[in-house]
Amino acid sequence: MSETKSPVLEVRNVSLGFGGVRALTDVSFEVRQGELFSIIGPNGAGKTSMLNCISGRYRPSSGRVLLDGRDVTPLTPNVRATLGLGRTFQNLALFGHMSVLDNIMVGRHHLLRNNALTGALYWLGGARREELAHRRKVEDIIDFLEIAHIRKAVAGTLPYGLRKRVELARAMAVEPRVILLDEPMAGMNLEEKEDMARYIVDLNEEWGMTVIMIEHDMGVVMDISHRVMVLEFGRKIAEGLPDEVMNDERVKVAYLGVDDDEEQVA
C-alpha cells in the first residue's frame, strides 16, 4: 500500500469524559485510504470509546473527527453511514427474530431511494427494480462470506461464530468506504478466527474498504495490519508499523506487562 495516499479519516485531539472519568485524552491519528489500521490496548484503554466517537454514537468532549476532510463530529450515526462509515459491535446487535437475509437488508435501508408513493405503486414504479438491485448486492455479500446455507435462518438461532459473520455482512451492506470492526474475532475458536481474518483481508484488498479494527488477538493484529495504534488509559502511547509498535518499550510495559528488568531475569 502506498504511503502517499491521503487520509480518509482524521481524529484530531479527541477527548471524552463521563462525569469525572476520562475515557479518552487528546488522542490524534489518521487512517489512509485503503489501510487496515488496528487499535490495541489493555481492557479499559478506551478502544471502543474511540470507535464510538468515530461512528457518532458518542460525541467527544473536545476535538474533531473528519471524514475525507469534512468535519463529521456533530453528525448522527445514520448520517455518517450515508457518508461511508460502517460498523460492527463488540456485543452482537442483530435482530434475533429476523432472518439472516432480512438482517443484512437492514444495512441497505439508508440507500433506498423510493418513497411511500412509489412504494405503493410497487409493480408500476421503480420500487420493485430497486429492491431487486439491493437483493443482488446482498447476495454478493452472502456469497463472499459463505453464508448462503443460512440465508433464511432466524439470526437468533445461529451459533455465535456465524452470528458474528452475519453482523459483518450487515456492516458491508452499508457499502462503507471505512468499516469499523470492534473485536470481530472475540469468542471464536481458531478455525473461525482464521476464516474471519481472511474475510477482513479480502474486504480490504478486494472490496477496497478501509478497515479500522479493535482486536485482542495479537497474532492476527501483527499478521494482517498495515499500521497499529496503542491506547493506555485513554491516551495514545504508540503508533506505527506492527513490528515497530511491538518493540516499543512503553507497549511492552503497558500491554504485554514486560519491562527491561523482567527481560534480563528471563
Residues 69-128 have pLDDT tens digits of 999 999 999 899 889 999 888 767 788 889 999 889 887 765 555 444 444 444 445 556
Instruction: Report phi then psi at 137, rounded to 5.
Output: -60, -45
Q: What is the mean pLDDT of residues 126-144?
A: 78
Query: Residue 153: its pLDDT value, please?
Result: 95
192 vs 20 pLDDT, higher one: 192
Domain extents for the chain? 1-84+176-266, 99-173
Reported confidence tier of residue 230, pLDDT bands at 50, 70, 90? very high
The class of domain 1-84+176-266 in CATH terms is alpha beta
User: Does residue 3 register a pLDDT over 70?
Assistant: no
**For residue range 170-185, what is the model confidence (pLDDT) as tens digits?**
999 888 999 999 999 9
| Percentage of the chain lying above the pLDDT 90 cut | 64
Q: What is the mean pLDDT of residues 228-236?
A: 96
**pTM of the predicted structure, to 2 decimals:** 0.85
| Percentage of the chain lying above the pLDDT 70 cut | 83
- Cell numbers standing for residue 180: 469499523
User: Does residue 255 register a pLDDT over 80?
Assistant: no
212 vs 251 pLDDT, higher one: 212
- Cell numbers standing for residue 52: 464510538
Strand arrangement, sheet containing 70-71: 21-32, 7-18, 62-67, 70-71
194 vs 90 pLDDT, higher one: 194
Identity of residue 161: G
What does pLDDT average to over the chain? Answer: 86
Query: Residue 263: its pLDDT value, please?
Result: 43
Report the number of secondary-structure helices (H) and strands (E) in the chain.
Answer: 11, 10
**For residue range 20-74, what is the model confidence (pLDDT) as tens digits?**
889 999 999 999 999 999 999 988 899 999 999 999 999 999 999 999 999 999 9
Determine the Cα–Cα distance for residues 179 and 36; give it in Å rounded to an integer. 10
Q: Helix H segments across the chain?
A: 47-55, 77-82, 100-106, 116-120, 127-144, 160-173, 190-205, 218-224, 242-246, 249-254, 260-265
Determine the Cα–Cα distance for residues 25 and 38; give it in Å rounded to an integer. 19
Query: Residue 128: its pLDDT value, please?
Result: 61
User: Does residue 152 register a pLDDT over 90?
Assistant: yes
